[in-house]
Amino acid sequence: MTRRRGFLPSFDWKREEALSGEDEEPTITPAQCRMARAGIVMSVRDLARLADVSGLAVTRFENGNTDCPEIIVRRFRRILESRGARFVSGPKGEGVKIEGQTGAAG
């Protein structure tokens, strides 16, 4: 099977959400989502398509809209982590590390 340029495989969200327990990893902040997307070079449209939401939902979350359901934010996190983003929190604040790169973005 050949890969089309720009093709991103989709997630099986019904299976993913059935396998995930209630003791999930902490959610990410809007700033971490933006940093991770920039670090792995993923567009809003790509993230939206993979998360099975609209591009507007991604943009609203990244702009700080607190109405985004936690399950969607967990989808964003799983997608970004599957592409190499690692979310970090510490006394200096929150940030993102991109696998294969040194240092933190943020």
Domain coordinates in residue numbering, the chain: 27-98
pLDDT digits (tens, 9 = 90+) for 27-39: 899 999 999 999 9
User: Does the domain spanning 27-98 belong to CATH 1.10.260.40?
Assistant: yes
User: Which pLDDT belongs to residue 1?
Assistant: 42
H helix runs in 41-102, sequence order: 44-51, 55-62, 70-82
A 10 A CB-CB count for 41 gives: 9
More confident residue, 105 or 50: 50
More confident residue, 1 or 10: 10
